[in-house]
Structure 1
């Protein structure tokens, strides 16, 4: 599967939004942000009046990226740190997609988001605590269900897992 395809990018974005939402303090508390809460949007709206959903997305991605980077080795890739060309494609997708990629448009609450993440895992059953090696970043698109599975298992067992890829 080619990561540059529109369908793959949309799957990456959906996974990021789901994991980003679930990792926030009101859900599983992996990072101390509240960008996807209604108060977060109200806070961002005056500053980013035309693109509050883009600001929410980037705020959550940065919080998740920092936590993952703290637990992983330099030079590894993960859901929130991908090669630059993929990051640019994702940024363009978020900017053009608008509201359809907000958590409110995808699901209603923590349980619905967790159910959607579970649906994304397919038959993949991979878990682990802490850093979890997945494979090579050039095959990233082929590992999306496995990555979703690791996060799903971690949220379900109230543990932190950080699936990563190498170059």
Structure 2
């Protein structure tokens, strides 16, 4: 499940950037980003890209959904975030380096998606925080994101925390 979330974060992170769908103004995944990231981060360039796209995605999702008592792809419970960081650190960079083109990102997203669904715009509740422990949410979110990118709309799947 951790590898699937990492794959989806990289794919959505790239597809949401300004050169693609323009959901956020960053370019961390662009081929030219290495020119400014490599001298500063060296061997940790992929971690810098990852942190950049997570922060960019988090800001836009938080603006549209709100903060507090909700989770989304770029803001998950702390224990999951730690497992994602550990998974990225131990990954053989296949997840990260395989997502450096929009074509590959779209393919990875379609592999994760459950089925073709109608594109929806704006925040979309896809369950409660309890559902984050089940792997089904990944395919549901991937389906919503894929449909939104294909239709040219912005979609923000989220989970509500129990009161």
Query: Normalising by the residue count of structure 2, what TM-score does the alignment of the two structures yield?
Result: 0.90
Unaligned residue ranges in structure 1 (runs of 5+): 1-7
From the superposition, tell whether residues 72 and 24 of structure 1 become closer, same or farther in structure 2 (CA, over 3 Å): same
Higher mean alpha-carbon deviation, 110-119 vs 36-45, is at 110-119
2:8–2:108 Cα contact (<8 Å) kept: no
User: CA–CA distance in 1 between the matches of 2:127 and 2:31?
Assistant: 37
From 98, 101, 109, the counterpart of 2:101: 109
Structure 2 stretches lacking a partner, 5+ long: none
Equivalent pair of 2:14/2:100 in contact (CA under 8 Å): no
| Structure 1 residue 108, shift from structure 2 partner | 5.8
CA RMSD between the two structures? 1.6
Match of 1:41 in 2: 34
Is 2:64 the counterpart of 1:71? Answer: yes
TM-score (norm 1): 0.88
Asked if 1 retains the 8 angstrom alpha-carbon contact of 2:17 and 2:25, the reply is: yes
**What corresponds to 1:58 in structure 2?**
51
Q: Does 1:123 align with 2:121?
A: no
Is the contact made by 1:77 and 1:137 (CA closer than 8 Å) also made in structure 2?
yes
1:151 counterpart = 2:145 = yes
**23-32 or 78-87: bigger deviation:** 23-32
1:19-70 CA distances to partner (integer Å, 9 max, x unpaired)?
Answer: 0111011111111111111221221111111210000010011001000000
Residue-pair matches, total: 158
SS at match of 1:50: helix
What is the Cα deviation at residue 124 of structure 1?
A: 6.0
Relative to structure 1, is the Cα distance of residues 139 and 116 closer, same or farther in structure 2, using a 3 angstrom cutoff? same
Distance 1:107 1:72 in 2: 26
In structure 2, relative to structure 1, the CA distance for the partners of 1:136 and 1:70 (3 Å cut) is same
Q: Using the TM superposition, name which of 77-86 and 133-142 deviates more.
A: 133-142
**What is aligned with 1:3?**
none
